[in-house]
């Protein structure tokens, strides 16, 4: 089931896979994503996809796209290059291969994109990319005290899920955590955003 939630200037298309636990409302998660996009200075108006899934699907995507075995908590699939977003604290230089349109930055993510700007048809929003979260992993991490993106936090599964979607939105906007300075800036912003958003 997919539902479009508008948090202007953003449209968040929330898809919930069959059998996935509903631990936070789509509206609350859309608020978190919108806060992340606002903070990162994403181009607007735009849309972004959020897929709430399970360990099995995320493990398959992790292997297919990242070459890593096993599930992870969140995967981001950005459609724009990192330089489409404003610079942010701790960011390193990114190398762009203009022949292939591939941007390689300090994480294991490599994103293929078109470096040429184009006009969208009237009434169409720019699509920033998609975030896929394993709700199963979010619950497990929160309940066993391995949450908080630091692996040492026990809290409500809904809080873990909210943090993961903020984290995914920042990845869509070119943020990363492979280098210590950028990781510190990313963690600080995530904490600030999560604290400013009351759960719903």
Per residue in 48-62, pLDDT (tens digit) is: 999 999 999 999 999
- Residue 81 has a pLDDT of 93
- Residue 22 has a pLDDT of 93
- Enclosing domain of residue 58: 2-196
The CATH number of the domain holding residue 184 is 3.40.390.30
> Total domain count for the chain?
1
Give yes or no for a contact between 175 and 76, defined as CB atoms under 8 angstroms apart.
no
- Residue 153 has a pLDDT of 86
- Residue 102 has a pLDDT of 35
Regions of the chain short of the pLDDT cut 70: 93-123, 198-200
102-104 and 110-112 strand pairing: antiparallel
Beta bridge partners of 75: 132
- Residue 18 has a pLDDT of 95
- Residue 122 has a pLDDT of 64
């Amino acid at each position: 089931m997919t539902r479009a939630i508008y948090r202007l200037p953003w449209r968040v298309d929330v898809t919930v896979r069959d059998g996935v636990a509903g631990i936070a409302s789509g509206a609350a998660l859309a608020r978190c994503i919108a806060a992340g996009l606002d903070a990162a200075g994403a181009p607007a108006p735009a849309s972004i996809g959020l897929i709430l899934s399970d360990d099995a699907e995320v493990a398959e995507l992790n292997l297919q796209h990242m070459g890593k075995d096993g599930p992870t908590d969140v995967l981001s699939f950005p459609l724009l290059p990192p330089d489409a977003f404003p610079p942010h604290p701790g960011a390193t230089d990114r190398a762009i291969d203009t022949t292939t349109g591939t941007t390689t930055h300090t994480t294991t993510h490599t994103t293929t994109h078109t470096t040429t700007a184009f006009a969208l048809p009237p009434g169409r929003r720019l699509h920033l990319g998609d975030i896929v979260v394993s709700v199963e992993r979010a619950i497990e991490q929160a309940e066993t005290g391995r949450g908080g993106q630091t692996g040492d936090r026990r809290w409500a599964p809904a809080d873990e899920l909210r943090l993961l979607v903020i984290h995914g939105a920042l990845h869509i906007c070119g943020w990363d955590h492979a280098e210590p300075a950028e990781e510190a800036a990313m963690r600080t912003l995530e904490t600030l955003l999560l604290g400013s958003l009351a759960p719903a």
